[in-house]
Amino acid sequence: MPTTEAKEIRLLGTCPDQVGLVARVTRFIADRACSIRQAAQYDDPRSRTFFMRYSIDASRFDGSAGAFASAFQPLAEELEMEWRVVDATVKKRVVLLVSKFDHCLAYLLHRWKVGDLDCEIPLVISNHEDLRSLVEWYGIPFEHVPVSKDPDKKREAFETIASLIDTANPDTIVLARYMQIFPPWLCEKYRHRVINIHHSFLPAFAGAKPYHQADERGVKLVGATCHYVTEDLDAGPIIEQGVVRIRHNHSIEDMIRNGKDVENTVLARGLRLHLDDRVLVHGNKTIVLE
Amino acid sequence: MPTTEAKEIRLLGTCPDQVGLVARVTRFIADRACSIRQAAQYDDPRSRTFFMRYSIDASRFDGSAGAFASAFQPLAEELEMEWRVVDATVKKRVVLLVSKFDHCLAYLLHRWKVGDLDCEIPLVISNHEDLRSLVEWYGIPFEHVPVSKDPDKKREAFETIASLIDTANPDTIVLARYMQIFPPWLCEKYRHRVINIHHSFLPAFAGAKPYHQADERGVKLVGATCHYVTEDLDAGPIIEQGVVRIRHNHSIEDMIRNGKDVENTVLARGLRLHLDDRVLVHGNKTIVLE
Amino acid sequence: MPTTEAKEIRLLGTCPDQVGLVARVTRFIADRACSIRQAAQYDDPRSRTFFMRYSIDASRFDGSAGAFASAFQPLAEELEMEWRVVDATVKKRVVLLVSKFDHCLAYLLHRWKVGDLDCEIPLVISNHEDLRSLVEWYGIPFEHVPVSKDPDKKREAFETIASLIDTANPDTIVLARYMQIFPPWLCEKYRHRVINIHHSFLPAFAGAKPYHQADERGVKLVGATCHYVTEDLDAGPIIEQGVVRIRHNHSIEDMIRNGKDVENTVLARGLRLHLDDRVLVHGNKTIVLE
Amino acid sequence: MPTTEAKEIRLLGTCPDQVGLVARVTRFIADRACSIRQAAQYDDPRSRTFFMRYSIDASRFDGSAGAFASAFQPLAEELEMEWRVVDATVKKRVVLLVSKFDHCLAYLLHRWKVGDLDCEIPLVISNHEDLRSLVEWYGIPFEHVPVSKDPDKKREAFETIASLIDTANPDTIVLARYMQIFPPWLCEKYRHRVINIHHSFLPAFAGAKPYHQADERGVKLVGATCHYVTEDLDAGPIIEQGVVRIRHNHSIEDMIRNGKDVENTVLARGLRLHLDDRVLVHGNKTIVLE
């Protein structure tokens, strides 16, 4: 965390609910001459768990986000809070993984270039060479790591990938239609920081070829799901979903074509929520503090 | 079929595709001094099957819909067509089955009363007494047929229901949140004429308590599905679907409340398509000829 | 306000933003042994105005909502806050006005009867007799007040209406497709408490016959808008909006039929937000604190 | 029109309705050993006008699309039909005009590159240099034509543009957020072949800065409209529309960001319908023959 003074700080937390909780946290903030720009809380009535996100104007706070965090530590302990302080002036680092389907990649890169995604993209990794030129046009390093079907070679490939990721030191990893299963040990290492886009309205049509499944079932809407990746394939906490109508005369190719619009939109929206630190995970669900 | 002269006839058909098909059918229509008000066709490229719906202005045709059908018979045979002729001036008869959740029933009855559903409703059957007063306010006969869990008594109950249905002589049966499994032999008897509303975006959350399932999975949209009932529970051909957004702070009760709006809308829309003879079934899918 | 002890209190407020604001309000709440069930705030960056809604568990507070309000008064004055305290255990009273188009009325009455609208409905007023039987079936008093085109008689009619409303003593008035202009002096008297449903996606197609206007312009979506009524016709603060797709082959009658689904849904959703005290008005906009 | 044999032909037509019309046209098609892949018709009941689109498998037709057209001419004249025959195997040529907002351009270029837009793009014209590199990366010629505010120079600029367009010989011109008014004489020259994307749900918020207008009015949905450009600014026939929800805490920048997703999707969908020759214009409306 940088030691320069942060103008905007985000304070995220999850803890058991209790009387006076908000008063104590917001008093802490006010006592540091900070004002709250945006506050969002949620008190889950079933688990009696409290979730909070404060976007804080820290321009009059005399210190870094790290200093703010250190000061908050004792109160957090007292409240048994899982928490983090984020310096909102420091861009998050996002590594993208992609295969050959490049629509999500192209969409994210463009939105990023024009300033609609508030992050840095230090690296794109792919198991194919095809997209090097596009990625490099955006001035982003591209690494080609082929993934073999042979289990030993596949493990090696993911060790290479893990090492590339570690060097890039990302806050977030996005699987932008990456057609490989992300190994559990990597999921665990980057827990709730790996985002996937699945091309169906989950839990309908989990697994491979969802548009083919949708065609077979004869549904009237197809969708896309942006979710955190967990060991349990296609079953991680859902961040965002969307749908689009289809008609009986749509071929699978038409579904794919129309589905891309939804995939792009849902992934961009989900990633934006994540980059804004608006998504808290609770069990297998997300609390989205808009 | 009535022998009076019909002003509007619908001709529906499904047959193997072949060159000249449309020309021959439309020539048949023109030769009866009939003009086509609305034509919709679909040629399924995979099965090479042709689907058609013609809405026909028969005001200058000198005969009944039955006469029109008799005249069409030889051509239909030649084309190996499954077909039907519908006299659009005769309202379809719809029997409704309902349990205690009455929102769909109330919605359909009201839309029907103000002329938004083009049908007659000769009978409502329920396994509870609760809704008698509402139904009778609309001037519709109400029959209470309790359904026991005991298999023998249950079979008896459905025999009673079948007999009531037979007497009412409906074209269509609507399960408006009827919380009983419609027996396979009744599905078979009224094949593609029994319509159900399921309170989820099928195939997600088939079976019981879909809103509870949706809550557990943490989806961001919930939906409803209007489909034909087949022996295979919740797996029949889908007619119409819709969704509504939910938020992390929605309780199951909120989901149910918001879901009702979608259930009402989707069932009303699906039923309207069916009553307009716009839905053709092909395998386990529907062709909706809007 | 009742003097019995309230289990759930809502505290709503709007005031200039300042450091420590949330801390002071939530400290006040905690000091009364109350815990916050749901908190929602919004700090408008342009006007530097703060909006808040706290849903408060007051089961351990030793006093009524009125006592809570009296205790809050000094702090509110200090913070220059416009505010109100609502005893959430007391149902709001809603008077409905309707003409001949009864779909919204029928929808609200049914949702109300099954417990999906948390309010009392002491009175329905109409300028036609047609809906008396429906309203009385729900056990609700119905008053027929014809509204003449003659200005003097019209004024008299609205004086009668105002007097009926005063006697019913409502918190909220809903114009459920009431085809008369609500006079400015009544709008003023029940400021931000009169809710209208307009059958278009405002500001498109304000004024009369919006579906005809939509048909003429050839739009591909039609909508509905739930808004507070102000002197400025169809221009009051918008609470909720929705749309539905239409096709080139939809007649105006089809648009009206499909539009009803959206009108019903949007009005029910907007009214529910209002009854939950989630809608704060700021200038000509609403802050919806979900 | 090429003289090689076409495998797929599209026949589009508009004419007064009459008995036997479909029979005669489809008989004509069948008599050329052609089969109908997809047929869509619409009979407007108010103007008694008939619209048709036939997608025709012409693999057994012994001749070019031009030969097919010549053969159809006499029948078309007899039926007083406005019509055209399109060789679907020949890609349409699309010229794009753009200013500095490049999201729609980037979206179209990417969708085009991966084969989701069935056309050639011989030229992109812009009044700024900024997007040259992006366009040239896709291998497409880029012409920079600055447009001055001085009326004489502006006229000159558009003469240059017209000449560039003429040389590129396009079937379709797309204004992909081109912030200049397309001159009426150019609209007239390329009548119903110039497509614009307007960043609002027209007719709401026509003119400049629609997101600012939407913010001021406090709407709960913002949208985008794809339409043909006519002399009457923002009032041409609408091809496609879409909307996205916004919240009270969305700044104008948030609206713009979310709006882009809808603009991209709506323009891509509208252009695809146009390239498939599915859009017929009737007065100021479109008939979309899906």
Among B16, B47, B153, B161, which Cα is nearest to B95's? B161
Q: Measure Cα distances from A11 to A5, A24, C200 in Å.
A: 16, 14, 41
Mean pLDDT of chain A: 94
Contacts of A268 in chain D (CB under 8 A): 261
CA torsion, points C27, C30, C34, C39, in degrees to nearest 10? Answer: 50
Average pLDDT rounded to a whole number, residues D69-85: 98
Cβ proximity of B287 and A247 under 8 Å: no
Task: Output the six-digit token pair for D62.
Answer: 């012994």
CATH number of A8-87: 3.30.70.260
Residue C3 has pLDDT above 70, yes or no: no
Per the DSSP assignment, residues forming a β-bridge with B36 are B56
Task: Write the DSSP symbol of residue B121.
Answer: E
pLDDT > 90 fraction of chain C, expressed in percent and rounded: 91
- The alpha carbon of residue D232 is apart from the nearest alpha carbon of chain C, in Å, by 13
User: pLDDT by residue (tens digit) across B25-38?
Assistant: 999 999 999 989 89
The mean pLDDT value for D41-51 works out to 93
Q: What is the ipTM of this complex?
A: 0.93
Mean pLDDT, residues D267-276 taken together: 97
Select from B7, B25, B26 the residue whose CB has the most chain D CBs within 10 Å, as the one to mutate to test that interface.
B26
With CA atoms as reference, report the closest residue to A156 among A166, A146, A167, A170.
Answer: A146
- List helix spans (H) across chain D: 21-31, 65-78, 103-113, 132-137, 151-168, 184-189, 210-217, 252-275
pLDDT of residue A7: 87
Q: Which of B6-10, C105-109, C143-147, C239-243 has the lowest mean pLDDT?
A: B6-10
Q: Which amino acid is at A278?
A: R
Strand, helix or coil for residue B101: coil
A249 and B201 within 8 Å at the Cβ level: the answer is no
Q: Which residues contact A214 (CB under 8 A, 6 or more apart)?
A: A200, A204, A205, A222, A246, A255
Where are the domains positioned within chain B? 8-87, 92-288
Q: Under CATH, which number does the domain D92-288 receive?
A: 3.40.50.170
| Measured distance CA(C259)–CA(C221) in Å, rounded | 10
Q: Which of left, alpha, beta for C211 (phi over 0: left; psi -120 to 50: alpha)?
A: alpha
Phi, psi of C124 (to 5 degrees): -120, 130
Does the distance separating the beta carbons of D286 and C248 come in below 8 Å? yes
Chain C CB contacts of D219 below 8 Å: 202-203, 238, 241
D22, D38, D44: best to mutate for the B interface, most B CBs within 10 A: D22
The predicted model scores a pTM of: 0.95
Give the pLDDT confidence score for residue C6 in this predicted structure: 61
What tokens were used for B207? 């079976």
C114-161: pLDDT as tens digits: 999 999 999 999 999 999 999 999 999 999 999 999 999 999 999 999
pLDDT of residue D3: 46
Contact C264, C103 (CB under 8 A): yes
Residues lower than pLDDT 70 in chain B: 1-6
pLDDT value at D82 more than 80: yes
Evaluate if residue A57 carries a pLDDT over 90. yes
- Neighbour count for residue C153 (Cβ, 10 Å): 12
Q: Across the interface, do B22 and D26 touch by the CB < 8 Å criterion?
A: yes
Among candidates C42, C204, C287 on the partner chain, residue whose Cβ is nearest the Cβ of D204: C204
For D115, the closest chain A residue by CA position comes to A257
Residues 20-79 of A with CB under 8 A from D: 38
Q: Answer whether A102 touches D (CB < 8 Å).
A: yes
Most D-contacting residue of C43, C201, C225 (CB-CB within 10 A), to test interface: C201
Mean of pLDDT over chain B: 94
Amino acid letter for position A266? V
Q: Is the pLDDT of residue D6 over 80?
A: no
Question: Chain B partners of C134 at a C-beta cutoff of 8 Å?
Answer: 137
Among B234, B254, B276, B277, which one carries the catalytic annotation? B234
Residue D119 pLDDT more than 50? yes
Contact between A7 and A57 under an 8 Å Cβ cutoff? The reply is yes
Residues of A that are catalytic: 234
Residues of C with CB below 8 A from A32's CB?
A: none
User: Do residue B30 and residue D36 have CB atoms under 8 angstroms apart?
Assistant: no
Residue B197's alpha-carbon distances to A73, B97, B185, B232, in angstroms, are 53, 11, 20, 15
Query: Residue C1 above 70 pLDDT?
Result: no
Q: A228-283 pLDDT, tens per residue?
A: 999 888 999 999 999 999 999 999 999 999 999 999 999 999 999 999 999 999 99
pLDDT value of position A4: 55
pLDDT for the residue C4: 56
* Residue type (1 letter), B209: K
For residue B78, CA distances in Å to A20, A84, B33, B81, D32 come to: 82, 75, 22, 8, 21
